[in-house]
Amino acid sequence: MRLRRVWLAALLAVLAPAAVAADEDFLARAVASPARTPEYRQRDVYRHPEQTLRFFGIRPDMTVVEVWPGEGWFTEILAPYLREQGHYYAAGTAYSAPDASAAAQRAAAAFQQKLDADPERYGKVTVTEFRPPDVVEICPPGSADLVLSFQHVHNWMTARTEQDAFNAFYRALKPGGILGLVEHRARPYTTIEQTRETGYVNEDYVKALAANAGFEFVAGSQVNANRRDTKDYPQGVWTLPPTLALREQDQAKYLKIGEPDRMTLKFRKPE
């Protein structure tokens, strides 16, 4: 029996690197897929999807929840990547909600149309609602391996529902599960009121929200950092691409700066 255990351990040691390499190749192919929207692929230079998802430890057999997927930028990567072995939840706002704005209704309807138009890629996506503080069950409690949020903490801060959001993510994750966050990074000592005006978020405040929910901080990455971002613009973070809130005014200047400086943070739900 002891020899059998030793043999199995040796076999796993040989196979594990090959399995990891296969997973990494699979992710690289998902990011490089020509089926992605060309305008989305052009933003890879700022959003670094492959490096970001690897930092969060994604695997194709995971149950992954993306919170507020918007127009589906990451959906085009995550849904095909998780289709065969994993499960992808897209936790969005509900356009059927009676208090939903017209813009929210259009965005949610467009996202659903995107899924319906390509069942080969998106047929296994599960769409759930996330409207804190009222609707917060983004997947069955304790079932997610990884919860992802890309540039939404400032929205919840504006709505004063940020702690509700983090509490919901904690409930969704399995013990040992990971919360991966990317958010516009503010200068130190930026206040909550300043965040609501500019969209830039204090990194210490994000860590405090996570800790209050019960998370442990694992690590941060500079993969989405942008040192050219001075964070002092007339329309806050929305002055820079992709929004370019000032339209043609100083557009060349803001395009040269690029997309905002972003923190990339990894948290774990204790086992």
Residue 253 is encoded by which pair of tokens?
């200047």
Read off the pLDDT of each residue in 43-68 and give the average, rounded to a whole number: 98
pLDDT of residue 9: 47
- Residue 213 in any domain: the answer is yes
DSSP state of 152: -
Inform me whether the pLDDT recorded for 16 exceeds 50.
Answer: no
- For 247, phi then psi, to 5°, come to 60, -120
Which pTM was predicted?
0.90
Rounded to the nearest 5 degrees, what angle is found at the Cα of 187, between the Cα atoms of 219 and 200? 85
Q: Bigger pLDDT: 220 or 92?
A: 220
Distances in Å between the Cα of 33 and the Cα atoms of 27, 36, 83, 139, 169 are: 10, 6, 15, 28, 29
C-alpha 197, offset from chain centre: 22
Preceding peptide of 260 cis, ω within 30°: no
Question: How confident is residue 93, by pLDDT bands cut at 50, 70 and 90?
Answer: confident
Chain segment 106-127, per-residue pLDDT in tens: 888 899 999 999 999 999 999 9
- Residue 169 in any domain: the answer is yes
Rounded to the nearest 5 degrees, what angle is found at the Cα of 50, between the Cα atoms of 45 and 52? 90
- Residue 25 in any domain: the answer is no
- Residue 6 in any domain: the answer is no
Range of the domain at 111: 33-268
Q: What is the CATH number of the domain that holds 76?
A: 3.40.50.150
Question: How confident is residue 96, by pLDDT bands cut at 50, 70 and 90?
Answer: low
What is the sign of the dihedral through the CA atoms of 195, 134, 136 and 66? Answer: negative
Q: Which of 94-108, 175-189, 221-235 has the lowest mean pLDDT?
A: 94-108
- Residue 150 in any domain: the answer is yes
- Residue 87 in any domain: the answer is yes
State the chain's mean pLDDT as an integer: 91
The count of structural domains within the chain is 1
pLDDT of residue 232: 96
- Residue 5 in any domain: the answer is no
Question: How confident is residue 94, by pLDDT bands cut at 50, 70 and 90?
Answer: low
- Residue 128 in any domain: the answer is yes
Read off the pLDDT of each residue in 243-267 and give the average, rounded to a whole number: 98
